[in-house]
């Protein structure tokens, strides 16, 4: 393999390894260091951003020791941390391993930047490869899997990365490609491109959610996508991204196409309109790729000899640009998601990042023109059309492997009773801070449910690792679902069932100073014989220091109106205890506690439950039996379950 191809391949695999570590570090900051929102937001943010700021020492390290040894040692540390995380340590060990891996990854990125002549192909292929592998594992990354499949896949990935690193380390210095100062623009965009692709453009979870909104039972609601929707959307995004990134950039006014597309896609995503997710994905993919292509043009024709601020004759300016770009990534991702706790509008964050990418891409490079006054040389590109076509096929196959399983019912005849489970799943993360869809599915399936109501359902937030917890659980339970957004199109509540879901409706609840948005989702479960059970799922968000009284009143009004005399179940994390003012609003409206026979039945925190905030309520006179709150640490809440007996037809 020629040196530049080896360099490209190693950089691409390294980007995937670093992204894997980030998918552990980011949610660990929330679930382990953050202690389920118990840690003050400023302290949490300072801890997370501090490591990106600390990495600013990396260019000085490169200057003193040289790019090659710094990149090699950091790559070994990154690979070791990535492999160690597969051992499923959980808790503080997981947090610190991910932190070490993150810091090592940032240093590796700086060392690689200082010694890589053509970073664009490796960065673009790495982002696309990460999307394809993330789709192939159904957004449940290998790093979270401690079984043989996790170890085999993680071992193969790390082995490829270390093999390429070793080959590069043994390459004679004379044959290595020195980094050009002009390449700093591409490295500066590495972090922002990682944000835009991970948050919007190349996220399999976001693509799956966008596809599911197309098949929802009503406007603004999502249901399982039809086979083919997700593969086509994701594969198209990956192909557009690579085609735009690896093709020769346009000249003249056409140079504006990439930046305009990136800004338009980010604006559509920031608008929080479920129907706009699909065009947001495609525009952001094409625009981000186009901006990277523009930034990769016009390098200086020669590299100055070694001198101050350089190492091994290679400028350290690209190293600093790479670390600064990742700092932009960190600031933006935490600024976007912190809005749901601090209450400021966050739609401007992805638009601002896209604007930053556009400005850097369009900025003129410092280029020495040739004696004849020719245009600046454009570095050789890979055969972009062939690569894009191959990436489309790979992404299509990978996404097709992750389609939800068909719903199954354990009833052969119309049931006379249904088992209802309500569960706050905390984005899929257990008390130990590990993503645990298998643990969640096990505790839910143990109750043999007919209907499952989920709160805190994450369908692609980058801060939580970019996975789709709803699809992961639906596949494991063999159920269909209806999802309603609360905070944005990727976060909300869901109703799952093995029985047919006939119709649905949602009502947005007033925020009243609550951190994340809230809604009430009404779903009709077809129990056969022309009868229907109305199920209302909600997650009340109390204002700081107060009860969610207004939201409770709104939910009761919505539920009773939606049921229209039919059997009714209202369930979810209501953030109020029996006898509290918000709970009294629900009972005053005519709802009855279905778990009363088992009181007290605390559900939070799961490790030492002390508060009763997860509930199931029904109409007066509805017979219920077998209330339970099975112990589990697959979330920070315990699930609640009860059998609801249906009136005769």
Q: What is the pLDDT of residue 315?
A: 58
CA–chain centroid gap for 188, Å, is: 22
Q: What is the pLDDT of residue 378?
A: 44
Q: What is the mean pLDDT of residues 581-607?
A: 93
Mean pLDDT, residues 217-241: 87
What is the share, in percent, of the chain residues with pLDDT greater than 70? 87
Most confident of 36-40, 218-222, 529-533: 218-222
d(CA 588, CA 593): 12
Using 50, 70 and 90 to split pLDDT, how confident is the model at 147? Answer: confident
User: What values do phi and psi take at 480, rounded to 5?
Assistant: -90, 175
Helix or strand (DSSP H, E) at 485 = strand 480-488
Chain centroid to CA 150: 20
Q: How far is CA 102 from the centre of its chain?
A: 17
Compute the distance between CA of residue 244 and CA of residue 293 in angstroms, rounded to an integer: 7
Indicate the burial class of 413 (C-beta count within 10 angstroms; 0-12, 13-18, 19 or more). exposed
Place of tokens 């779903």: 523
- Residue 57: pLDDT band with limits 50, 70, 90: very high
Query: Distance between CA atoms of 424 and 440, rounded to whole angstroms?
Result: 10
**Hey, is 177 helix, strand or coil?**
coil
For residue 200, which of 120, 292, 256, 268 has the smallest C-alpha distance?
268
Mean pLDDT in residue range 61-82: 94
Q: Choose between 487 and 11: higher pLDDT.
A: 11
Tokens of 597: 């026979």
Q: Tokens 């592998």, residue?
A: 133
Separation of alpha carbons 187 and 180, rounded Å: 11
Higher pLDDT: 36 or 533? It is: 533
Q: What is the pLDDT of residues 311-328, one digit of tens each?
A: 444 457 899 999 999 999
Per-residue pLDDT tens for 105-119?
Answer: 999 999 999 988 789
Q: 487-513: per-residue pLDDT in tens?
A: 889 999 999 999 999 889 999 998 766
Q: What pLDDT score was predicted for residue 261?
A: 97
Give the residue from 17, 513, 584, 484 showing the smallest Cα distance to 212: 484
**Mean pLDDT value of segment 131-144:** 91
What is the full DSSP assignment across 95-116?
HHHHHHHHHHHHHHHHHHHTT-
Of 482, 488, 493, the residue nearest 216 (C-alpha): 482
User: Which tokens in the block code for residue 447?
Assistant: 């109750």
Give the DSSP H/E element, type plus range, for residue 488.
Answer: strand 480-488
Read off the pLDDT of each residue in 9-15 and give the average, rounded to a whole number.
95
* pLDDT above 50 for 371: no
How many residues in the chain? 649
Closest CA to 196 of 246, 146, 124: 124
Check pLDDT > 80 for residue 581.
yes
- Residue 75: φ, ψ to 5°: -65, -40
The angle subtended at Cα 342 by Cα 340 and Cα 345, nearest 5°, is 65
Mean pLDDT of the chain: 87
> Would you state the pLDDT for residue 173?
57
User: What sections of 171-276 are H helices per DSSP?
Assistant: 184-196, 204-214, 229-246, 257-270
Helix axes 91-113, 317-342, angle to 10 degrees: 140
Residue-wise pLDDT for 352-370, tens only, equals: 999 999 999 998 754 443 3
Is the pLDDT score of 389 beyond 80?
Answer: no
- In the three-class reduction of DSSP (H, G, I as helix; E, B as strand; rest coil), residue 568 is classed as strand
pLDDT at 218 over 70: yes
Q: Which domains, from first to last, does the chain contain?
A: 3-365+380-400 (1.20.1250), 417-645 (3.60.10.10)
Query: What's the whole-model pTM score?
Result: 0.92
Answer whether residue 78 shows pLDDT above 60. yes
At residue 306, the pLDDT reads 41
Q: Cα separations (Å) of 394 from 83, 195, 385, 388, 594?
A: 25, 22, 14, 10, 49
Segments in 29-136 forming alpha helices (H): 41-54, 58-65, 67-85, 91-113, 119-136
Token pair 């603004």 is found at: 220
The residue among 544, 590, 582, 584 whose CA lies nearest residue 563 is 590
Grade residue 382 by pLDDT with cuts at 50, 70 and 90: low
Residues in contact with 211: Cβ distance below 8 Å, sequence separation at least 6, in sequence order: 225, 229, 230, 233, 278
Which SS3 state, helix, strand or coil, does residue 397 take? helix
């Amino acid at each position: 393999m020629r040196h530049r191809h080896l360099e490209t391949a190693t950089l691409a695999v390294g980007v995937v390894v670093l992204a894997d570590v980030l998918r552990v570090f980011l949610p660990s900051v929330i679930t382990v260091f953050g202690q389920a929102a118990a840690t003050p937001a400023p302290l949490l943010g300072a801890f997370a951003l501090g490591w990106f700021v600390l990495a600013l020492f990396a260019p000085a390290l490169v200057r003193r020791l040289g790019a090659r040894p710094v990149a090699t040692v950091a790559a070994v540390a990154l690979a070791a941390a990535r492999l160690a995380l597969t051992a499923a340590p959980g808790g503080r060990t997981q947090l610190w391993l991910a932190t070490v891996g993150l810091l090592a990854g940032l240093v590796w990125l700086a060392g690689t930047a200082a010694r890589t002549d053509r970073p664009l192909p490796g960065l673009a292929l790495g982002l696309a490869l990460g999307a394809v592998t993330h789709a192939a594992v159904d957004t449940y990354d290998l790093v979270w899997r401690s079984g043989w499949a996790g170890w085999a896949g993680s071992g193969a990935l790390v082995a490829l990365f270390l093999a390429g690193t070793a080959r590069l380390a043994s390459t004679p210095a004379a044959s290595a490609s020195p980094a050009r100062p002009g390449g700093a623009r591409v490295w500066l965009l590495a972090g922002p491109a990682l944000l835009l692709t991970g948050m919007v453009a190349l996220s399999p979870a976001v693509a799956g959610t966008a596809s599911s909104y197309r098949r929802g039972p009503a406007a603004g609601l999502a249901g399982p996508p039809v086979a083919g929707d997700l593969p086509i959307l994701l594969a198209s995004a990956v192909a557009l991204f690579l085609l735009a990134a690896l093709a020769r950039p346009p000249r003249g006014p056409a140079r504006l196409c990439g930046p305009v597309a990136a800004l338009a896609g980010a604006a559509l995503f920031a608008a929080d309109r479920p129907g706009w997710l699909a065009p947001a994905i495609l525009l952001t993919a094409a625009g981000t790729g186009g901006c990277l292509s523009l930034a990769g043009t016009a390098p200086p024709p020669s590299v100055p000899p070694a001198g101050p601020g350089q190492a091994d004759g290679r400028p350290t300016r690209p190293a600093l640009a790479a670390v600064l770009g990742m700092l932009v990534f960190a600031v933006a991702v935490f600024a976007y998601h912190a809005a749901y706790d601090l209450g400021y509008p966050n739609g401007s964050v992805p638009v601002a990042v896209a604007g930053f990418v556009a400005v850097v891409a369009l900025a003129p490079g410092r280029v020495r023109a040739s004696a004849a006054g020719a245009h600046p040389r454009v570095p050789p590109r890979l055969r972009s059309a062939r690569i894009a076509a191959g990436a489309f096929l790979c992404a299509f196959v990978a996404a097709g492997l992750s389609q939800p399983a068909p719903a199954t019912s354990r009833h052969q005849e119309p049931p006379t009773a249904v088992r209802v489970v309500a569960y706050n799943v905390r984005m899929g993360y257990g008390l130990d801070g590990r993503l645990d869809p298998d643990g969640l599915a096990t505790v839910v399936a143990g109750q043999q449910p007919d209907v499952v109501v989920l709160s805190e359902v994450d369908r692609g937030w980058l801060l939580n690792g970019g996975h789709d917890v709803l699809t992961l659980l639906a596949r494991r339970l063999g159920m269909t679902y209806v999802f309603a957004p609360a905070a944005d199109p990727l976060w909300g509540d869901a109703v799952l069932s093995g029985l047919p879901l006939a119709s649905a409706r949602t009502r947005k609840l007033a925020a009243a100073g609550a951190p994340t948005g809230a809604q009430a989702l009404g779903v009709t479960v077809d129990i056969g014989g022309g009868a229907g059970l109305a199920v209302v799922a909600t997650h009340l968000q109390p204002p700081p220091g107060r009860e969610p009284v207004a939201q409770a009143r709104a939910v009761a009004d919505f539920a009773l109106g939606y049921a229209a005399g039919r059997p009714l179940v209202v369930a979810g994390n209501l953030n109020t205890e029996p006898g509290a003012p918000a709970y009294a609003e629900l009972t005053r409206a005519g709802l009855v506690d279905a778990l009363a026979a088992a009181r007290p039945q605390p559900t939070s925190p799961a490790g030492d439950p002390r508060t009763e905030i997860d509930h199931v309520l029904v109409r007066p006179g509805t017979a219920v039996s077998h209330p339970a709150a099975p112990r589990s640490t697959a979330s920070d809440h315990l699930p609640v379950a009860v059998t609801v007996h249906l009136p005769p037809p």
